[in-house]
Amino acid sequence: MSFLVIQGLSKSYGGVHALVDFDLSVERGEFISLLGPSGCGKTTTLQALAGFVSATRGRVVLDGKDITDVPPEKRGLGIVFQSYALFPHMTVADNVAFGLEMKGVPRAERDQRVARMLELVHLGEYAQRYPRELSGGQRQRVAVARALVIEPPVLLLDEPLSNLDAKLREAMQFELRRIQRKLGTTTLMVTHDQAEALSISDRVVVMHGGRIQQVDAPHRLYEQPRSRFISGFVGKTNLLQGRWKDGSVELAGGARIAAPGDYADGQELTLVLRPEKILLTPEGGSGVRGRITERFFLGSQWLYRVECPLGELEVACANDGRAPWPEQAEVALDWAPDAASVLPPESA
């Protein structure tokens, strides 16, 4: 049996189904992200795991023990909230030591564990400061240290980085992953930030409407989405309609594109073609002819909107220092034979 098993977890509020038949098995030491838009059920899932809300049905089994009806304070889980919830009148060291004190850990051992944890999160020299004297990133690390110092079997993170600015948030993503890997703590994180989920997770659980849509490794989730919702929510995408013909997909205007699978001739299919998989070449080159209608500078890349016989496509080109394509430029669009993936017909 997996270390953490969630079976059929559901939560309803009157006639509103916030969580429906959530099934997930988590291995010891895994980092799992629950990803989805606001109201998709990800926070409800975390609260049910923590015991803060009682499930309408379903069960949670941790290391072979059913904890579905165990009160929150007896589950022994580590929790980091979006607001960090640090005690303002306590020093950093006292905040981190709080859980150990509640467990009755002797003072000498408590001090040793707190000191080790503060060194792990690079805050050893801040032990006697108060939360008001720390930056946002430092407060976030104090909250993580407080949750981990009790050596919980599972760490639950409720959008822990959402209060940080973009640059610090990115830095803290990798810091959080470094700490988690070093300790080997099984971790579930709630986030609505796709880049965050993809960059630091072992697996990502995409949720929508209270239900799991797909559970997969980040790269497979991005490259092989199983529905229109996932293809659009996880990264930018172009959806192309076509028909299967003689081993490939025939698109509008007669363009053809290779795709995995074996379908009946004439079957309608939807292809997912990511913007960065499309190449722009001068007009006259091989590929589909088009015209650039808009361009946007995103720092590391240029994003173009191109009108062509397939519709309006988004194309992402790396910013390599060369002059960008001008708007209204006539271009040709091309892509590698294996650039596109096919949505399952039943979900397209």
Supply the pLDDT for residue 346. Answer: 65
Sign of the C-alpha dihedral computed for residues 207, 213, 217 and 220 taken in this order: negative
Q: For 57-107, how does the pLDDT look when each residue is reduced to its tens digit (9 = 90+)?
A: 999 999 999 999 999 999 999 999 888 889 999 999 999 999 999 999 999
Supply the pLDDT for residue 347. Answer: 63
Query: Which residue numbers in the chain have pLDDT < 50?
Result: none
Please state the pTM of the whole predicted model. 0.91
User: Residue 72, Cα to own-chain centre: how many angstroms?
Assistant: 26
Supply the pLDDT for residue 168. Answer: 84
Residue 12: CA count within 13 A, CB half-sphere: 10
Sign of the C-alpha dihedral computed for residues 191, 194, 198 and 202 taken in this order: positive
Supply the pLDDT for residue 85. Answer: 87
Q: Which of 196, 225, 154, 208 is nearest to 216 (CA)?
A: 225
Supply the pLDDT for residue 167. Answer: 84
Supply the pLDDT for residue 74. Answer: 93
Supply the pLDDT for residue 179. Answer: 92
Q: For 5-58, how does the pLDDT look when each residue is reduced to its tens digit (9 = 90+)?
A: 999 999 999 889 999 999 999 999 999 999 999 999 999 999 999 999 999 999
What letter represents residue 327's amino acid?
E
Q: Which domains does the chain have, with CATH numbers?
A: 4-230 (3.40.50.300), 236-342 (2.40.50.140)
Q: Would you list the DSSP string of 142-175?
A: HHHHHHHTT--SEEEEESTTTTS-HHHHHHHHHH
Distance separating alpha carbons of residues 24 and 2, to the nearest angstrom: 10
Strand partners, 278: 335
User: Residue 217, Cα to own-chain centre: how many angstroms?
Assistant: 10
Distance separating alpha carbons of residues 113 and 99, to the nearest angstrom: 11
CA distances (Å), origin 164, targets 169, 173, 335: 5, 11, 38
